[in-house]
Structure 1
Amino acid sequence: MKKIILLISTILFALCFTNCKEKTYFKEIVSEKNVNIAMAEFPKNKEDIVINLPVEFNLYLNNFPNIRRVGIYYKKNNRLCMIVDDYVIYESQTDKAIFSLDRYQYPNYPKSIYLVERKIKISTEEAQKFIERYNPKTAVENIKSTNDTIQLISYKKFKEDNPKFIEELRRIPDSITFVIKNRKGKKTIQIKEKINW
């Protein structure tokens, strides 16, 4: 009798653990995509230089057949940012811009995406230091229009090499929110995560 009770308890515990486990829809990873330096989209003068840092996420949306819609919202310094104006999302495998995940449906969601904020301004001197370190064959003076970019190094390596720069990004926490609408019962799930620059 004790063996039967123990067996039933084990099965019930395993079922509860499986069902109670939190569902994972996305997870931030340290990106291998390149960091680059460019001119700000609407420069007021030649000093308006930005650094583009990719923040990458593995997506597990294809594990959930009931998903109907997915919205992504990015907050920087407690301010809701606008897609295209403030940031762009790309599919990791193709590097193509994604303006909405609504064009995808289960089971064809991308396996991973990355977000690039377009307004992280840095000084010309700081930009030149990064260029001298990672791409010494060029110079900040080569950025003459918004179409010009200078590739530096993978974000993973940049993050390892520049902890003080990364710490400054973390001073005011930034976040990403996924709003997921399901087909069944039209339930909406909202998941907010701090970005771990």
Structure 2
Amino acid sequence: MKKIILLISTILFALCFTNCKEKKYFEEIVSEKNVSITKLRFPRDTEKEDLVINIPVEFNLYLNNFPNIWFVNIYYDKNNHGCVIVQDFLINESQTDKTIFTLDEFQYPNYPKSIYLVEQKIKISKEEAKKWIEKYNPKTAVENIKSIDDTITLVSYKKFREDNPKFIEELRRIPDSIKFVIKNRKEKKTIQIKEKINW
């Protein structure tokens, strides 16, 4: 009897593992894309010189494993608030760095293999900006950032994350999340997958 129970448990575990593996649509990875500093794109007070740090949050996509997908959309929540694409964040294709306004512009089997999200409202002080610029890009200066078109590149996010654990911990203090809304042609249902961003 014990052998039968063990066999059934093993089979159920294998089925569950296979199904979970098959249903994996995306996963967050530690990006090698560069962190950068620029001005806040849509400031409330135009007199302020708000600086922001752009951190790429990258995801491998497995959408091309599912031929019946016909619609995909992405939603991003920051500090428990929904964000607006372009105004609050951008989505770029990893291979080309081209901005994507919706994944719905792609169709199977041509979905990108990976994308990265860049939030545009992580404000930092001038002192923080100076510290990071001096460390990672000393040939320039924070004073060179005069408009949103002026961007100072620092270092890969992987390296930045290793060097600045306290800053990363602060990003994680209030969990942020990404949600994929996927429509399946065959099953005629909407799948919603929400996962916490690990930063």
Structure 1 length normalisation: TM-score?
0.91
Q: Which residue of 155, 167, 170 maps to 1:168? A: 170
**Percent of paired sites with the same residue:** 72
Partner of 2:102: 100
C-alpha RMSD over aligned residues: 1.9
Partner of 2:40: 40
1:187 equivalent to 2:189? Answer yes
What are the Cα deviations for residues 114-141 of structure 1, in whole angstroms up to 9, with x where unaligned? 0000000000111000000000011100
Partner of 1:28: 28
SS of corresponding position for 2:153: strand
Please list, as runs of the form range in 1=range in 2, the aligned pairs for 1:15-164 lying within 5 A after superposition.
16-17=15-16, 19-22=18-21, 23-43=23-43, 44-164=46-166
Write the distance in 2 (CA, Å) between the matches of 1:98 and 1:137. 32
User: C-alpha displacement at 1:39, in angstroms?
Assistant: 0.7
What are the Cα deviations for residues 1-60 of structure 1, in whole angstroms up to 9, with x where unaligned? xxxx9xx97995587346543511000000000000001113433530000000000000
Write the distance in 1 (CA, Å) between the matches of 2:92 and 2:149. 18
Give the structure with higher Rg (CA).
Answer: 1
Question: Is the CA contact 1:174–1:194 (under 8 Å) kept in the aligned structure 2?
Answer: yes
Write the distance in 2 (CA, Å) between the matches of 1:130 and 1:94. 26
Question: Is the CA contact 1:47–1:123 (under 8 Å) kept in the aligned structure 2?
Answer: no
Structure 2 length normalisation: TM-score?
0.90
Amino acid at match of 1:30: V
After the TM superposition, which parts of structure 1 deviate over 4 Å for at least 4 consecutive aligned residues? Answer: 8-15
Write the distance in 2 (CA, Å) between the matches of 1:78 and 1:94. 30
Q: Which runs of 5+ in 1 are unaligned?
A: none
Length, aligned pairs only: 191
